[in-house]
Amino acid sequence: MDLSKENGALAVEVLDLIFRATRYIQHEYEIKLESLSLPFQLSGPRLRLLLMVWRAEKIRMSELASKLGVKPRTVTELVDALERDGVIHRIPDPNDRRATLLHLTEEALNQINRVRSVQMQISDEILQKFSEEQRTQLHELLSAFFEGKEIDFVY
């Protein structure tokens, strides 16, 4: 009996469920975020970048790229869009004239609490079937993916 194939079959199903859950959650998120009528567009990648800048307060584009797991060119693109929408400012790094620091605009800071509060609401709704205990279980299991990994790469 080929045990590795049996393990593999279960493993494929588990990873497939993770993919499907992500697609489902993204779908729900998009719908709910749209109904927020924010004064700027907020896709998944943009929200991710935005929240990272928010947590860091100010951050270099290159550091952001490495944390997001994308190339610097991609950050340039996203930041261009977010700057156009008045969400992000570029400011020169006083300590290194090659570098650019990002920080959120007043407008973004005003909206960010609203976004985060709705994010919590949506997340709670999506997980409504799950008990507190189940949520904690999921949290513990999924955390194992990232144990022992460098913390700079956030995925």
Partner DNA sequence: TATTGTTATACTCTATAACTATA
Partner DNA sequence: TATAGTTATAGAGTATAACAATA
- Give residues in contact with DNA (CB under 7 A): 41, 43-46, 60-63, 65, 70-79, 81, 90, 93, 96-101
Bridge partners (DSSP) listed for residue 104: 88
| CB closer to DNA out of 96 and 107 | 96
Question: Smallest distance from the beta carbon of 148 to a second copy, in angstroms?
Answer: 9
Burial class (CB in 10 A: 0-12, 13-18, 19+), 79: buried
Residue 98-117 contact track with a second copy, rule CB under 8 A, x = bound: -------------------x
E runs forming strands in 77-125: 88-92, 100-104
Please list, in sequence order, all residues whose beta carbon lies within 8 angstroms of the beta carbon of residue 60, skipping any fewer than 6 positions away: 93, 99, 100, 101, 102
Residue 30 interacts with a second copy (CB under 8 A): yes or no: no
Pair 87, 104: CB distance under 8 Å: yes
Question: Smallest distance from the beta carbon of 94 to a second copy, in angstroms?
Answer: 33
* Residue in 23, 58, 71, 114 binding a second copy, rule: CB under 8 A: 23
d(CA 106, CA 42): 17
Can you give the binding site for a second copy, defined by CB under 8 A?
4-5, 7-15, 17-25, 27, 69, 117, 119-121, 123-124, 126-127, 129-130, 132, 134-139, 141-147, 154-155
